[in-house]
Structure 1
């Protein structure tokens, strides 16, 4: 009671003092600032969520079918080129190209490749070796005799630049050897671990599957793999058709 009476007395006698006492100071946080901070945090969380979802997004890889088909076509072209050489066998004008020829004299012998000093063609029932320098005639003939091809030749008396070599007869044994080589070529370009139809398909599948995320394969992805298998089978059939065609020509 005594303390209250003193306070009333002070208030009446000093109004300025009373204002100071009756109006205490308050400290608080601005609700606008809190709202701004809260909104910024919310947006940041949303952004992080979007980024996380983007990182987990499933991107379906695609197979470049035109490139795959182009690679398959190159295999067929390679088969045709090599199969034609097998079919010609000993009738191939390139048969002597890789022979090593010793030219020069006994004191100064030089080894050169056959096709650097001569070229071969077929005319009638003979190989015609056209020499760039007729002084190499006997050296070329010696290389042919020593090749193991069971052939020999003579210099054409009417043209000192030419060597005539009779074409070897085609026997049943020769045909069987050619067929064996053709089958080996077919198997190699069909199933070899590299540079074959099967290896191209395998590499394409491996690359396609390595780009898949850890998810269940989709219908679209399955469809692409199925299309790849169909394309591979189509070219296996094409290769087989070419094999049978060359086989028939060799057996004629």
Structure 2
């Protein structure tokens, strides 16, 4: 809103009209001016963009995960975990085997300890239909225990175990991120993204990236050594 104010001067002076702006108008203008002021973006030094301690923990977690796979591969079909993905038909629908029983190895036999006697025959049927070529029988000394001999370790089974292990190795080394489980490749890509979104690196960024690449190669080597050792152990 604009007010017109007239000032009466002496007769020897002519009238002068002044234009004044209301305080409300001036305040609004001041607010608009304040909005125009933007803070300068905070620049993060290149060496602080990659958390090397966190990266080491993630890379080591990948190596540890592969070590677990390698250990299971050495056992092959003689691992108690061979039944972990088995589903059993019950009165309450299909249930995972691991919720109904647990498996251990004693001598040259699998020993299944079943929690509910009502599921004994159901578990036997599931194992027979699993394609594992195993035939569980009830232990005469314990009606809640199923017993079956370990499968023979043939060259065919060994080759199958090595093939499966190599697939896991490739996924953990070069694959995309597996949900919350990182791979070496996805951790590397994340580090690169944090360092710069541009295709070209400046001198300081290049120095930091070279340092990360050295770290990455250490864990790639660890993974490579582990799969070689596991293959040798499996094929003995």
Normalising by the smaller structure, the TM-score range is 0.7 to 0.9
RMSD: 2.6
Q: In the alignment, what sits opposite 1:67?
A: 54
Distance between the aligned counterparts of 1:96 and 1:216, measured in 2? Answer: 50
Distance between the aligned counterparts of 1:170 and 1:216, measured in 2? Answer: 53
Q: How does 1:132-151 map to 2 (within 5 A)?
A: 132-151=115-134
CA contact (8 A) 1:102 1:111 kept: yes
- State the shift of 1:161 in Å: 1.3
Segments of 5+ residues of structure 1 without an aligned counterpart are: 1-50
Segments of 5+ residues of structure 2 without an aligned counterpart are: 1-36
Is the partner of 2:71 in helix, strand or coil? Answer: helix
1:82 counterpart = 2:69: yes
Greater Rg by CA: 1
1:182 counterpart = 2:176: no
Q: In the alignment, what sits opposite 2:13?
A: none
C-alpha distance 186-153 of structure 1, shift in aligned 2 (>3 A) = same
Of 168, 184, 187, 2:151 maps to 168
Is the partner of 1:90 in helix, strand or coil? Answer: helix
Distance between the aligned counterparts of 2:133 and 2:165, measured in 1? Answer: 22
Of 74, 78, 84, 1:91 maps to 78
CA contact (8 A) 1:100 1:113 kept: yes
- State the shift of 1:151 in Å: 0.7
Distance between the aligned counterparts of 1:57 and 1:180, measured in 2? Answer: 50
Q: TM-score, normalised by structure 2?
A: 0.75
Q: How does 1:193-208 map to 2 (within 5 A)?
A: 193-194=176-177, 195-208=182-195
Distance between the aligned counterparts of 2:155 and 2:139, measured in 1? Answer: 31
More strand by share: 2
- State the shift of 1:56 in Å: 9.0
Instruction: Kindly provide the CA deviation profile for residues 49-75 of structure 1, in whole angstroms up to 9, marking residues without a partner as x.
Output: xx99x9599653222111111110111
- State the shift of 1:86 in Å: 2.1
More helix by share: 1
Instruction: Kindly provide the CA deviation profile for residues 83-126 of structure 1, in whole angstroms up to 9, marking residues without a partner as x.
Output: 2222222111121222222235xxxx743221212111000111
